[in-house]
Structure 1
Amino acid sequence: MTFCESIMKTTAQYCTIPMEAFVAAAEDRDGMSGAQGPLALALERIRLRGHRRVLWQRHLWEQTAQIPAQGLAIPHEEIDTICLALNTPGEEARFYRLHPQGEALSQAIDTLEREWVHSGRGVVGELAACFALSPSESDFLTLCMAPELDPGLRRLYGYLHDDATLCAPTPWLARVVFGWDLSVRLTPESALVRWLLACPRPGEEHPWSIMARWTVDPRIVNHCCGNRDLPPSLQGAAHWIPPADRLSYEPSAVAPLREFITTQDPQRPGRQRYLQLAGTTGVGRKTWTARLCAEQGMRVLCLAAPRLLNAETGDTPAVPHVQARERLIAAEREALLQGCVLYWAQADRVSRDTWQQAPHCAPWQFFGMEHLGSPLFRENAVDTLHFSLPLPAQTRAHWAQLLPAHENALDLTALAERFSLTPAEIEALAPRAHAGRDALWSACRSLSHGRLGSLAALLPCPFNWADIVLPVDTIAHLQEIVAHTTHRQAVYETWGFGRKRPLGRGVAALFAGPSGTGKTMAAQVLAAEMGVGLFRIDLAGVVSKYIGETEKNLRRIFDEAERLNAVLFFDEADALFGKRTEVKDAHDRYANIEINYLLQRMEAHEGLAILATNRKGDIDPAFLRRLRFIIDFPLPGVGERAAIWRLALPEQTPAGETLLEAINWELLAARLEISGAGIKNIALAAAFLACGDGRKIGMRHILAASRRELAKQGRLVGGEMWGCPVPHLQHTDNARQ
């Protein structure tokens, strides 16, 4: 039997479609892309090429007397076909030239290919240009997408594989459908795989085999169909930033940001444009980025970097290393698909090693950072812009613009001086103004409590100047601190002193003196007078044995204090701010690094920091030189003790009943040399003794309480101190008997 006779026999045995109908169908395919679009054209390429391959496989089956999908039996004729090299590209091409249906399909394929190229290959061509796909990769991507668009093609794939269980695209199928030569291979370095457009199915034993099943990312199919929804891997951690219509406050960083976005580098017109934006949350980094990009016709996609990429944070489980890399790729892939700008929020909370896994191919990426630190990338030179908190004058102008009718009633000048707020916080608090000045100030104060967490505790501030007893010079010194904080705007801005002191406009004060002399109470009075929160710093939580953690904790404390305009109170500060040590080992070297970092932050700190110590001599002199105020708190003298006794022992209850009985104030002040805190302890203990005794507070109760208080300090009390025996009060029941 000749080759032509075998072809005609194959046609008669397997083809149930009349020849005339087949030729007409092939001719009808010409120009169908113009009516149905390039995506329909891509599917038709698969159908036509698959249909032509079917004819060849049927011919081979007839030659070997095979029954398609016969099972495990391999006939002798099939082995002869393989050994005699009858199934070769050359024999297949000859078959198509001589077979009537094969020739008609080849002509239709040639016409379709010309139309395919003329149309620019539609969305597949866009994907190829976007991700630098080779022609073979583009064809294979089309092969992978086709059964997602037309599920019936899965059966065609199984038929061509001669395996009803293999209804998925494989590199072998692409080779026989598109005529690939042996040099075309798909590897892990293929652009299809690197961009996660298509990849071997999970669970494939040999994923890079020519018979491995492949799958396409559903996001790519959706994109080709016109769906612009974000992929599931990004949903929940990404959102589009709408451009603001009106922005009342323009930070100084906006001008260089606008220049960065609008100016093209003439040396590298197509290069990636990356920029780190540092600043406090709510200061306007995302808002201004979206606004300026919108002016250039670009949308901004904001991604929560810690949630999307981070390792374990609190109760959030760690993101696996591979999954973080895939999400980085998915984000940049989305930027290329949609032509948008990426904004990574809180990017500095993700490790530098994680960022190094990114493809770094998206044209525009901005990285929001809360702190000015080292660049996120080792190799890429990425510039940083810092968005500073608004100055008091800018804050007041923002308040006035939002609340023009309440400018005088709300005392906006003092409000701007006291609370350093971001534009977002001001806009959130502005609606509280309708409830009046006190409500607005209370809301600002509540916001100042901040997020210092376990590193600090918010102290109540119930005291005023009338409640504290100190020497006159000490009180005047404390009131100078209030003046420095209250008139900061006038002196630095209006009078021009800010130009002479560009660094650190805040106030750092040292309160030195024995325990119980009023250091903590003085800090409470200052915070109450300033109308801001007072935070006591937990030194045990600040100092860490791990290298770099102490600096990180200090940075967090100072940054939050500046943002919230809170007063920092370091009690027993000598434990942290002690003398710098001589370097003898690695621990000493890192201890000095921590102290040097602290000195730098103190110089740049914009708020009030109060350091309390009872060992002033242990503090490094270099540190003392950077303090604006050093205030000594001595033990109270006779006059101060008398005033403290009268404040500690009220004469009447709130209901007006008399509480005291024959108190000798002069004797208490003259004979009992003790701190103000000790006096308060004695007064409270005496009150409990008197209440248990069923009597008013008298000298016998005070003398008994003082004996116990002094015993705690290791001081024995005899009758010679008071000029009379010190009473020993018994249990209340025995006393009443």
Structure 2
Amino acid sequence: MTTGNRSWAAANQRRLAAEVTALELRLRRYASLPGGDDTAAADAARHACDEAAAALPGPSALDVVAECFGLGAFERDVLLLTAADELDARIGEVCSVVNGGVHDRPTFGLALAALDEPHWSAITPEGPLRAGRLVDVGDGRITAAPLQIDERVLHSLLGLSQLDRRLRPFAVRVVASDVLLPPSLAAAADRVRETWVTGRTRPVLPVILHGPEPRDLEAVVAAAAPGVPVYRVTAPDLPADPADLDTFARLWERESLLDRTVMVLACRDGGAQERRAVTALLERVDAPIVVTAPDPVILPGAGVHLPVGRPPRSEQRALWRSVLPDPVEADDRLTRQIDDAVTQFDMGFADIVHHGTADTGPSGDSLWSMCRNSSRDRLGDLAQLIEPRARWHHLRLPAAQYTVLRDISAQARGAAKLQHAWNSAEGHPRGLGLSAMFAGPSGTGKTLAAEVIAAELRLDLYRIDLSAVVSKYIGETEKNLRAVFDAAEKGGSVLLFDEADALFGKRTEVRDSHDRYANIEVSYLLQRMESYRGLAILTTNMRSSLDQAFLRRLRFVVNFPFPDSAQRADIWRSAFPAQVATSGLDPERLARLNVSGGSIRNIAFHASFLAADADEPVTMAHILRAARSEYAKLDRPFTEVEAGGWS
């Protein structure tokens, strides 16, 4: 139970001690032990109980437990008897005498004989003492078996709020934020609070919250239950054995009565296995439970479904201003940086509060980097992060392709600012998803161009290998793609889907279910690319194999041609960093090597190692040796025309 302040705790313990003393005198009187017939002592004990009750601000913990579990007067005294046995050694002395020295624990037989208004139903398995796991009955005959109070219940009677030790491996305390929720999340918290039945009326309807930010969902629950312990339990961690799940359910139901505890039952993906686990628990527990998931989870029975998205950009902007330690209003530069970050990054409430109130909280130029790093955590296991080091001057492309890449960068830069206006405009219901196809032979600069654009936008670049994402199992491809887009949505990262041929081949006639689902996978990817608020780039080495209907749905298609002799010479001129010593290199002669830009970089890299090992500058001879190795790797003949005059 929620204990309140220290004065209540001290008064509660005085009241419990007084009741234990009075009970001990009653037991001595029953057992005809010394002190049992001391009327003055009995009167003094009753008077001490009355004084302690009058000094207690509110009901005692024992009275609260009795009310919550529906204990009658006799059942309350039985619970007090088992607690007194733990708190006062004199109770054990009396019990030992009554039990003939067999053991010094209280028994139900003693309770029936010594306490007022006794009844047998108090000890039945369906009775509140045992059904609520308040008292355990030992082995042997019911009346002679020792009774023992549960440790968690004893702590509660003493005014100590501690989660049952058997639940701790499953539960993590949710700490409420000191920062007020923004209006959108506060409204969701009000809705959750409204669904809960006031007082102790049963049953309690489960609430299902779904949204992209798990910690925001927890913040909503914590705000809906102020001053109440809230714990997160992850659905996959629930006990699988039905008997263990029953025990878990009973213990948790007891927690909800003792401390009004609320459970956040967190689903990771809301899949079939998680739904079965959640349903099994909800069927066993009658307590306030909030199920959270990234998407709506359909569960049997009644429930309240509430979507909780990230705060709108206006609330994110106000939240940053409230949590940053610097006086934002007095710093126009920081205000502009907040506006830029909010425009690009869709941050949740918990993330903003965490980073804004940290000791090393963001300020100035670090705000953008902090938001980008926060978004990076979501994609770490789903894709390969490419550090965008290349810049525009590294590209060697015809003017037409160069111009289109500039246009892509410009549109990506302005998309975040125009997103709201165009999304709400008629004729553009799918939003401003920016998609591009980079087509061309291997090594012609497709990935390099993606790096350049990501660097220009100051965004992360993630490479997703479609050959690894595509699954032979029906529905798995869409699940994998969805995980990628959902994770990237927060920061608008640049997504590079390599080997698009694995998914975007020409649609074939639907002859069986595999053909039908293959087309569904392609349609799903295109739909997500259209709704994705960042830039998604597909690459392919075989444009001719792509369906023209799919190409029409892409915003840009850029052809990366195989470099001609002049372009290869230009690539060779910039192939070696200024720090690498070279001697006698002839870009025009090197351009005779009929290879792509990627192969040129490989040859230059290999030649640099050869020269370093020989402790001499890179020469044409080193490049010739490296070129022969590259050609062998490509399984191509190294012609005399290409190597003529080198040695």
Task: Quote the residue 1:81 is aligned against.
Answer: none
Say whether residues 1:351 and 2:274 are aligned partners: yes
Kindly report which structure 2 residues correspond to 1:272-671, keeping only aligned pairs within 5 A, or say none.
272-281=204-213, 284-293=216-225, 298-306=226-234, 310-311=236-237, 326-339=247-260, 341-344=262-265, 351-355=274-278, 356-357=280-281, 359-362=284-287, 364-369=288-293, 371-375=294-298, 377-388=299-310, 390-391=312-313, 393-401=314-322, 402=324, 403-408=328-333, 411-430=337-356, 437-494=364-421, 500-503=427-430, 505-538=432-465, 542=469, 552-575=479-502, 598=525, 601-618=528-545, 624=551, 626-649=553-576, 653-654=578-579, 659-661=582-584, 663=586, 665=588, 667-669=589-591, 671=592
Q: TM-score, normalised by structure 2?
A: 0.77
* 1:115-149 Cα distance to aligned partner (Å, 9 max, x none): 9xx99996555334312446665454344333124
Provide the C-alpha distance between the structure 2 equivalents of 1:41 and 1:432, rounded to a whole number of angstroms: 50
Provide the C-alpha distance between the structure 2 equivalents of 1:340 and 1:398, rounded to a whole number of angstroms: 29
The residue identity in structure 2 corresponding to 1:569 is: L
Task: Quote the residue 1:683 is aligned against.
Answer: 604
Provide the C-alpha distance between the structure 1 equivalents of 2:304 and 2:391, rounded to a whole number of angstroms: 51
Task: Quote the residue 2:638 is aligned against.
Answer: 717
Residues 1:678 and 1:433: Cα distance change in structure 2 (over 3 Å): same
The residue identity in structure 1 corresponding to 2:498 is: D
Unaligned segments of structure 2, at least 5 residues: 1-12
* 1:672-694 Cα distance to aligned partner (Å, 9 max, x none): 43211122223334445566677
- Contact map agreement 2:441 2:562 (CA 8 A) in 1: yes
The residue identity in structure 2 corresponding to 1:219 is: R
- Contact map agreement 2:355 2:362 (CA 8 A) in 1: no
- Contact map agreement 1:304 1:346 (CA 8 A) in 2: no
Provide the C-alpha distance between the structure 2 equivalents of 1:711 and 1:517, rounded to a whole number of angstroms: 19
Deviation for aligned residue 1:46:
7.2
- Contact map agreement 2:436 2:537 (CA 8 A) in 1: yes
Provide the C-alpha distance between the structure 2 equivalents of 1:212 and 1:619, rounded to a whole number of angstroms: 79
Give the match's secondary structure for 2:206: strand
Give the match's secondary structure for 2:376: coil
Task: Quote the residue 1:3 is aligned against.
Answer: none
- Contact map agreement 2:317 2:342 (CA 8 A) in 1: yes
* 1:148-198 Cα distance to aligned partner (Å, 9 max, x none): 243322233333333x23332444444444589996374544433333222
Select 1:255's aligned residue among 177, 181, 187: 187
* 1:217-251 Cα distance to aligned partner (Å, 9 max, x none): 1222232233334443456844464463645x433
The residue identity in structure 2 corresponding to 1:654 is: Q
- Contact map agreement 1:578 1:618 (CA 8 A) in 2: yes
Give the match's secondary structure for 1:610: strand
Deviation for aligned residue 1:626:
4.7
Give the match's secondary structure for 1:357: helix
The residue identity in structure 2 corresponding to 1:302 is: V
Deviation for aligned residue 1:567:
2.0
Provide the C-alpha distance between the structure 2 equivalents of 1:694 and 1:169, rounded to a whole number of angstroms: 90
- Contact map agreement 2:74 2:118 (CA 8 A) in 1: no
Deviation for aligned residue 1:216:
1.4
Q: Which shifted more, 526-535 or 473-482? A: 473-482
Q: TM-score, normalised by structure 1?
A: 0.69
Say whether residues 1:130 and 2:74 are aligned partners: no
- Contact map agreement 1:172 1:211 (CA 8 A) in 2: yes
- Contact map agreement 1:687 1:697 (CA 8 A) in 2: yes
The residue identity in structure 1 corresponding to 2:147 is: W
Provide the C-alpha distance between the structure 2 equivalents of 1:182 and 1:153, rounded to a whole number of angstroms: 22
Deviation for aligned residue 1:372:
0.9
* 1:613-661 Cα distance to aligned partner (Å, 9 max, x none): 22345556675555333333222234432322222256xx438x6x342
Quote the RMSD (CA, aligned, Å).
4.6
Give the match's secondary structure for 1:609: strand
Provide the C-alpha distance between the structure 1 equivalents of 2:193 and 2:481, rounded to a whole number of angstroms: 34
Task: Quote the residue 1:223 is aligned against.
Answer: 156
Deviation for aligned residue 1:583:
8.2
Task: Quote the residue 2:121 is aligned against.
Answer: 184
Residues 1:589 and 1:156: Cα distance change in structure 2 (over 3 Å): farther
* 1:69-89 Cα distance to aligned partner (Å, 9 max, x none): xxxxxxxxxxxxxxxxxxxxx
Higher-Rg member (1/2): 1
The residue identity in structure 1 corresponding to 2:208 is: Q
* 1:674-731 Cα distance to aligned partner (Å, 9 max, x none): 2111222233344455666777655555455444433432322333x34x7465x7xx
Provide the C-alpha distance between the structure 1 equivalents of 2:276 and 2:130, rounded to a whole number of angstroms: 22
Deviation for aligned residue 1:467:
0.5
Provide the C-alpha distance between the structure 1 equivalents of 2:77 and 2:614, rounded to a whole number of angstroms: 98
Provide the C-alpha distance between the structure 2 equivalents of 1:625 and 1:258, rounded to a whole number of angstroms: 46
Give the match's secondary structure for 1:450: helix
Kindly report which structure 2 residues correspond to 1:155-234, keeping only aligned pairs within 5 A, or say none.
155-162=93-100, 164-177=101-114, 184=121, 186-201=123-138, 204=139, 209-233=142-166
Provide the C-alpha distance between the structure 2 equivalents of 1:256 and 1:492, rounded to a whole number of angstroms: 25
The residue identity in structure 1 corresponding to 2:26 is: L
Task: Quote the residue 2:86 is aligned against.
Answer: 148
* 1:447-480 Cα distance to aligned partner (Å, 9 max, x none): 3431434432221211111111123232222222
Task: Quote the residue 1:48 is aligned against.
Answer: 26
The residue identity in structure 2 corresponding to 1:274 is: P
Kindly report which structure 2 residues correspond to 1:13-52, keeping only aligned pairs within 5 A, or say none.
40-41=18-19, 44=22, 48=26, 51-52=29-30
